[in-house]
Amino acid sequence: MGRRFLAVCALALCLGGTATAAVLHIAADPLEPQEWWLAKVGADPAAAPPPGVPITIVDSGTDPTHPEFAERPDTTFLNTQTTSGTREFHGTFVASVAAAPENGIGMVGVYPTAALQLFDASPVAGPPSAAAAGVDAASQHCPGVINLSFGGTSPDPQLDDAILTAVHNGCLVVASAGNDGNVGSPITYPASYPHVFTVAATDENDAVASTSTSSPATDVAAPGVDITGAVPLDHNPAGYEKGSGTSFSAPIVSAAAAWVWTLRPTLTVTQIAAVLREGARDIGPPGFDNASGWGIVNIPASLTAPAPPPDPGEPNDDISQVKPGQLFELGEPPLTTTTKPNGRIAATLDAAEDPRDVYRIWVPAHKIVRVAVTAGGRAAARIWGPQTVSVTSESNAERRRDLRGQSIHALKKGFAAYVEVLLTGRSTDASYVLTVKAAKR
């Protein structure tokens, strides 16, 4: 009869500080009773919204012949899928955890009715160009959620640029934290890149898994121990296995993010990340910690969490992200222009997620431009000259040429310059107001 849920009691459950009516229902898919993680994140698949904000899985291929995907509605294979290589069961598993349909077969995903897109970047964590191509393909469908359940200890500039482009286009990029908690938690990519939403793993007792990589980049946690998922039939004729790792925590969060964003479609990418953090159910030490971030993702609480003001212009961490003709064709609009010599903007910084903001400004002929930041001492501003290539990697000689402090002077001809806003070290985050003013002296 499909899923039929019975509202037979009004017992209140406290999920991340939000009271939610308990609902009993009969599982339609036979493995659903084993899916302990659904209740942990406040997911009732029977109450999932219709397709909305898409989830894109960039991973090894997803088996299109598997019963969970062969006739699944709202499913788009963005390229040819293969599942025959070593560990190429991974993509099918990840996709099923996020969005296996409610079809009376096997299991059900966190968001079973989601619009699902699949990109085969085999092998998992393989050629960087494949993963970057997948992120680029997903970036054509923003707003959306892009799931990256892979990682390594070597940074990849090509993948980093693809992620920045996705965020610029309005997509949330979710990545697994890594499974090196028992070997010192080395820095892992893409999880540690700024603007990536990073997910740790927990067990059935809400403890962080010992293998889950701990990092200041962690945003939230989600179940990642003894997770049931679909696998290609040529990998296991049964079609399902159990697995553990942050690879399977990430799609739970990706599904939660798409669910919340579908029901809160006016949120920006920075705001959806913020309400997921705000709604998380805290575990371990109060507040943020490197192991679990802000806590276990919680769909009901994130649906009602207050959204902060938008953080404009992201990503804008360096010159290449704001100057036209570089990473983004149009760059970012300048804060001041020839016709608007003064400007003001409010934004935020975070040491792990958004360490600095860079803005283009115009310095009018015969004028001095000065900058000031109001942030309670948590942030400061400085001006860089027109020849600046990067605020993070210039040589000492280039810095002496380009770094101008809090004012800059144009003579007979005006020019473009840059303002950098950065943390002072007094806090790991800051809300600030930047003011730019031009005067004759």
| Catalytic residue list | 59, 90, 247
Tokens of 122: 């085999």
Nearest CA to 175 out of 141, 231, 208, 215 is that of: 215
Give CA–CA dist 290/273, Å, rounded.
17
Which helix (H) or strand (E) segment holds residue 252: the answer is helix 246-263
Nearest CA to 421 out of 413, 430, 412, 408 is that of: 430
Tokens of 282: 């805290």
Give CA–CA dist 356/18, Å, rounded.
33
Give CA–CA dist 432/126, Å, rounded.
40
Give CA–CA dist 349/136, Å, rounded.
26
CA dihedral 62→230→302→214, nearest 10 degrees, is -90
Question: Dmax of the chain from CA atoms?
Answer: 79
Tokens of 339: 């016709």
Residues 277-308 as b or e (16 or more Cβ within 10 Å = b):
bbbbbbbbeeebbbbbbbbbbbbbbbbebeee
Give CA–CA dist 408/382, Å, rounded.
10
Nearest CA to 161 out of 390, 327, 394, 329 is that of: 327
Tokens of 361: 């400004």
Question: Could you write out the three-class secondary structure of 93-158?
Answer: HHHHHHHCCCCCCCCCCCCCCCCEEEEECCCCCCCHHHHHHHHHHHHHHCCCEEEECCCECCCCHH
Question: What count of Cα atoms within 13 Å lies in the side-chain half-sphere of residue 401?
Answer: 10
CA angle 20-24-30, nearest 5°?
Answer: 125
